[in-house]
Amino acid sequence: MDEGDKKKKSLVLLIGVIIFSLGLYFIMGVFSEKGQIVQVSVNGQVIKELPLSVDTEFIAKGYEGGENKIVVKHSKCYVEYADCPDKLCVKQGEISKNGESVICLPHRVVITVIKHAKEKTIDTIAK
C-alpha cells in the first residue's frame, strides 16, 4: 500500500466519523424532550425549583458565599453572572431540554432541567 492510499483512506474515515457525529448530534437535538422545571441545588441540596414557562431571575448563594445569577427567559435557562474566577458556568450557555445541566464547581451550584417537579409523596406508612 503506498502513502497516497493511506492518506485517502484516513481522510475518508475522518470525514465519515465527522458526518456520523453531526448526524447523531442533530438527531439528539430534534428528539430530545423539552423540560418543564429548572432545579437549582447548592452543595447537593435542592434550594429552588423554577418553571421554565415563567420568565424570572434568581440569585443562588453558593458554597462559601459565592453568587450565581440564574435567569429563566423564553423557556430557556442560563447563568447571567457569577463571581467565580473562571466563569465557566456563564459560558455554558442556555439549557432547556430534559437532563441538561449548568454546573459551577467553585460555588457547588448545579442547575438541571427536569421533566416534572418532584411530587412529595409518602414512601411508606408504619404502624
> What is the assigned CATH class of domain 37-114?
mainly beta
The radius of gyration of the chain's CA atoms, rounded to the nearest angstrom, is: 21
Would you say 116 and 36 are in contact if contact means Cβ atoms under 8 Å apart? yes
Which residues on adjacent β-strands are paired with residue 69?
59, 81
- Of 71, 63, 49, 54, whose CA–CA distance to 120 is shortest? 49
Tens of pLDDT, residues 48-61: 999 999 999 999 99
Provide the residue ranges of all domains of the chain, joining segments of one domain with +. 1-31, 37-114
Would you say 67 and 87 are in contact if contact means Cβ atoms under 8 Å apart? no
Spatial strand order of the sheet with 76-82 comes to: 56-61, 67-73, 76-82
Tens of pLDDT, residues 104-123: 999 999 999 998 766 555 55
**pTM beyond 0.85, yes or no:** no
